[in-house]
């Protein structure tokens, strides 16, 4: 490392000379343009030519024809989360219908990918999503609103024995999964970004967002689990006392979730602590429900036990979000200080 003094020319322009060896090695001469790129740490990168956009990363899968649907789907989702812009699946012609069907199913399951080319023995998928248009923060907000509505509607389906509504809740869980995978992809892209890049500098934030997205995805799973218990509750319906207790426990779960997420967005440590403290009262509701549910028998017992367990777990995931909100608020508060 060598130091070079700034010189003031013309009364308003600062000039610094460049090392001669670097100029020659870069193929530059007097009059050529160099390109400056300010970095977030305050340094400046000098480039002999504009930074080229990196080539799109591509992943190729060779299918033998013995692949199971779920196995191929998992590989496609893994490539998507890993940030591959192009995914090609090669296969024997006789397995084409199976692979094409799974490829299109994958494109419906996630945000961005589309089949752009097909041949007799290959399918090419391109991810057309733009993280700038659907940031991790936007994904989390949508996930929060979706899962809280799922909890409300899951209870309504239980109370009214509405099979159509229970199926609708289950379908919305797919939307939550799509948003989670989008956040997971952005997390991976951030961690594989070149050192010093704008994306690489936000690692702490995207790490927390990835954790929160997973917790919200798990809340959505439990809302779906509650909804799927509806057909097992029978035609008689539930006792008014149990319905009332389920309503209280659901409202408590949603209340903890709302406070935790609002604390995350606003950086309110006190509200995050309130959400965590509310878990004690919520657990009392769960314990009372468990006691009453234990008197049931058969499929009704299993269905109600699943519902009660999911309401308890949903609140637990919400308090985990509140704990992350406290950590995030403390770190960002130090940065502001």
7-59 pLDDT per residue, tens: 878 777 888 888 888 888 888 888 888 888 776 566 788 888 776 666 678 99
Distances (CA, A) of 11 to 7, 18, 200, 305: 10, 21, 37, 79
Please tell me the distance from the alpha carbon of residue 141 to that of residue 64, in angstroms, as a whole number. 41
Neighbours of 52 (CB within 10 A): 7
Least confident window among 30-34, 57-61, 88-92, 190-194? 190-194
Q: What is the pLDDT of residue 205?
A: 82
Distance, CA of 185 to CA of 191 (rounded, Å): 10
pLDDT tens-digit map of 135-163? 899 999 999 999 999 999 999 999 998 89
> In the structure, what pLDDT confidence band is assigned to residue 196 with cuts at 50, 70 and 90?
low
Higher local confidence (pLDDT), 92 or 41: 92
Is the four-CA dihedral 294, 304, 149, 247 of positive or negative sign? negative
Crossing angle (nearest 10°) for helices 163-191 and 96-109 = 90
Neighbouring residues of 20: CB distance < 8 A, sequence distance ≥ 6: none
- For residue 139, the tally of other CB atoms under 10 A from its CB is 25
Q: What are the percentages of helix, strand and coil residues in the chain, rounded to 5?
A: 65, 10, 25
Please tell me whether residue 181 adopts helix, strand or coil conformation: helix
Cα–Cα nearest to 270, from 281, 282, 260: 260
CB 201 within 8 A of CB 190: no
Question: CA distances (Å), 297 to each of 115, 211, 214, in order?
Answer: 50, 38, 34
Q: CB burial class (10 A; 0-12, 13-18, 19+) of residue 267?
A: middle
Two tokens, residue 308? 């009660």
DSSP 239: -
């Amino acid at each position: 490392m060598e130091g070079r003094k700034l010189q003031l020319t013309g009364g308003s322009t600062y000039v610094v000379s460049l090392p001669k060896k670097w100029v020659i090695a870069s193929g530059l001469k007097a009059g050529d343009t160099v390109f400056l790129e300010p970095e977030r740490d305050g340094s400046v990168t000098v480039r002999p030519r504009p930074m080229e956009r990196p080539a799109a990363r591509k992943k190729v899968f060779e299918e033998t024809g013995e692949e199971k649907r779920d196995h191929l789907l998992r590989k496609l989702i893994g490539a998507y989360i890993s940030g591959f812009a192009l995914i090609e699946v090669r296969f024997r012609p006789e397995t084409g219908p199976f692979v094409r069907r799974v490829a299109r199913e994958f494109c419906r399951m996630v945000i961005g990918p589309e089949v752009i080319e097909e041949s007799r023995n290959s399918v090419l998928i391109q991810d057309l999503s733009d993280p700038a248009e659907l940031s991790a923060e936007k994904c989390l907000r949508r996930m929060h609103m979706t899962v809280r509505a799922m909890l409300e509607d899951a209870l309504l389906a239980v109370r009214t024995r509405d099979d159509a509504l229970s199926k609708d809740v289950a379908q919305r869980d797919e939307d939550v999964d799509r948003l989670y995978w989008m956040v997971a992809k952005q997390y991976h892209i951030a961690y594989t970004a070149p050192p010093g890049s704008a994306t690489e500098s936000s690692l702490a934030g995207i790490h927390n967002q990835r954790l929160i997205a997973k917790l919200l995805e798990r809340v959505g799973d439990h809302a779906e689990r509650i909804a799927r218990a509806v057909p097992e509750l029978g035609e008689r319906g539930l006792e008014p006392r149990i319905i009332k207790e389920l309503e209280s426990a659901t409202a408590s779960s949603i209340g903890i979730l709302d406070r935790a997420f609002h604390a995350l967005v606003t950086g309110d440590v006190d509200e995050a602590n309130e959400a965590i403290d509310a878990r004690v009262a919520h657990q009392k509701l769960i314990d009372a429900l468990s006691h009453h549910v234990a008197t049931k028998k058969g499929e009704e017992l299993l269905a109600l036990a699943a519902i009660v367990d999911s309401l308890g777990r949903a609140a637990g995931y919400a308090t985990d979000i509140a704990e992350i909100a406290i950590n995030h608020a403390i770190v960002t508060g130090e940065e502001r200080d």
